[in-house]
Amino acid sequence: MGVAKYIKDEKDAVKEVIYQSGIKVKPSYGPKDLEEAGFDYEKDLGEPGEYPFTKSILPQSYRSRAWNTRQYTGFGTPEETNKRFKLMIAHGQNGLNVAFDLPTQMGYDSDNPRALGEVGRLGMAVDSLRDFEIAFQDIPLDRIGSGLTINAVATIMLAMYQAMAEEFGYSKNKISATPQMIF
Amino acid sequence: MRTNKLKIIGEYHLLSKDDVYERKKIRILIAKPGLDGHDKGAKIISLALRDAGMEVIYSGLHQTLDQIIRTAVQESVDVIGLSIMSGAHLPICKKHLEMMKKENTEDIFLMVGGVIPVKDIGVLKEMGVKGVYPGGTSFDVIINGIYGFLGLTPTPPKAA
């Protein structure tokens, strides 16, 4: 038992590898294989900054723009989280990565019996739009993009983020937020 | 209400005063209370306890304490092991012990493992949690701990 089965030739060299899922692959590939597969540089690889973006999403990649620095942050109440956001930005972050507590991540209110002991524990608790407004008070949302580490309720949180930003006077083409899924 | 609950006395399980049964396997429920979805620890400890000769029931994720206690009663377990990574171990264990008292199931022992800060170990033990096993505890310590608080001496598994 192993992750793959190795088929060997008479000289005991590996000529084929079969993965557990049954997919057969060669031990290694070269230019001849690309030719056989009908490889098209324009279509399959492309230039940096162009579809299908295999060589970077930017023409000059991260030489032209530094990547975002955003540490996973958020705990307790929206007020505490807001303080923390400001501290992180003061220390040079150019983005935020918002940590929500487990009840928020799973779509429970803070007063749900299932939320016992978990409110504000692994991130901030969000029960309403007001919590978002407090957490992002005085954050320059046109300059600072946000990653929202949020699971099943991502659509709701993204909508709340937009509603909050518009309330603060940022038009929706000026803001950016990315929902992501972790456990 | 529970009936026919096996009680461990010394080396034996007693069904009632007169029925002395041969020693049975320790039955244990490993459960994931609350909303945290990190179950690798619970699954690994389930396998380790199984290999140590116990009968292990694993609850699956996101169980309420009600569900856990009900499962424990229905499965006639001797021990419940809660696996908690979310930092909610103190309120969860407190509520769990209160509910066990209310349900008159205090003869089922409670142990807890997961991300438990050292300063909370004493608090949990004082509360009535029999075994507290933070991440990094060796399986031997946990297995011997279970035999210890059940008042049993481990018997080596029979050779196949």
| pLDDT tens for each residue of B60-81 | 999 999 999 999 999 999 999 9
Instruction: List the single best residue of B32, B35, B127 to mutate versus A (max A Cβ within 10 A).
Output: B35
pLDDT attached to residue A66:
83
Say whether the ipTM exceeds 0.85. Answer: no
pLDDT attached to residue B109:
95
| Nearest Cα to Cα of residue A101 among A71, A131, A130, A68 | A131
Chain CA centroid to CA A112, Å: 28
Report the percent of chain B where pLDDT is more than 90: 68
Closest Cα in chain B to A107: B35
The Cα–Cα gap between B75 and B84 comes to: 21
* Beta carbons of B48 and B139 less than 8 angstroms apart: yes
pLDDT attached to residue A159:
95
Chain CA centroid to CA A37, Å: 32
Q: Please report how many Cα atoms fall inside a 13 Å half-sphere around the Cα of residue A75, on the Cβ side.
A: 8
pLDDT, tens only, A103-131: 999 999 999 999 999 999 989 999 999 99
Report the percent of chain B where pLDDT is more than 70: 80
Q: Is A110 helix (H, G, I), strand (E, B) or coil?
A: coil
pLDDT attached to residue B9:
52
A149: tokens are 């580490």
* Beta carbons of A49 and A57 less than 8 angstroms apart: yes
Cα dihedral value A17, A23, A24, A30, nearest 10: -90
How does DSSP classify residue A43? I
Higher pLDDT, B49 or B17: B49
Residue B4 clears pLDDT 50, i.e. is over it: no
Cβ-count burial B55-66 (b if 16+ within 10 Å, e if not):
bbbbbebbbebe
Chain A residues with beta carbon closer than 8 angstroms to that of B62: 106, 114
CB within 8 Å: B92 and A121: no
**Which string of DSSP letters, residue by residue, matches chain B?**
---S--EEETTEEESSSS-EEPP---EEEEE-BSS----HHHHHHHHHHHHTT-EEEE--SSB-HHHHHHHHHHTT-SEEEEEE-SS-HHHHHHHHHHHHHHTT-TTSEEEEEES--HHHHHHHHHHT-SEEEETT--HHHHHHHHHHHHT----PPPP-
Higher pLDDT, B13 or B4: B13
Higher pLDDT, A72 or B154: A72
pLDDT attached to residue B106:
87
Q: CB contact, 8 Å: A115 with chain B?
A: yes
Nearest CB to A114: which of B35, B37, B87?
Answer: B35
pLDDT attached to residue B3:
41
Residue B5 clears pLDDT 80, i.e. is over it: no
* Beta carbons of A181 and B37 less than 8 angstroms apart: no
The Cα–Cα gap between B131 and B112 comes to: 6
B94: how many CB neighbours lie within 10 A of its CB?
A: 17
For residue B155, what pLDDT band results from cuts at 50, 70 and 90? low
**What residue ranges of chain A have pLDDT lower than 70?**
1-2, 182-183
Radius of gyration of the CA atoms of chain A, in A: 24
pLDDT attached to residue B23:
54
Residue with tokens 């945290």: B36
